[in-house]
Amino acid sequence: MLLERGDVNLDKVNRRGRTPLSLAAQNGHGGVVRVLLERNDVSPDEVNRRGRTPLSLAAQNGHEGVVRTLLERKDVNPDKSDWRRRTPLLIASANGHEGVVRMLLERNDVNPDKPQLVRITPLSWASQCGHEGVVRMLLERNDVNPNHRDLLGLTPLLWASLSGHEGVLTMLSERSDANPHKLPRWHRGLLWLGSRDFVSGGRELRMLLERQSPQTG
Residue 104 banded pLDDT, cuts 50, 70, 90: very high
Domains identified in the chain and CATH numbers: 115-217 (1.25.40.20)
**pLDDT digits over 59-89, tens only?**
999 999 999 999 999 999 999 999 999 999 9
Of 4-13, 156-165, 182-191, 206-215, the range with the highest mean pLDDT is: 156-165
Q: Residue 217: pLDDT above 60?
A: no
The residue among 174 and 5 whose pLDDT is bigger is 174
Tell me, what's the pLDDT at 91?
97
Q: Tell me, what's the pLDDT at 184?
A: 56
Which residues contact residue 84 at a Cβ distance below 8 angstroms, ignoring those fewer than 6 apart?
Answer: 50, 51, 116, 117
* Residues comprising the chain, all counted: 217
At residue 161, the pLDDT reads 80
What is the pTM for the complete model shown? 0.83
Residues in CB range of 89: below 8 A, 6 or more apart? 59, 78, 79, 101, 104, 105, 110, 111, 112, 114, 122
pLDDT for residue 200 is more than 90: no
124-174: pLDDT as tens digits: 999 999 999 999 999 999 999 999 999 888 889 888 888 888 899 889 988
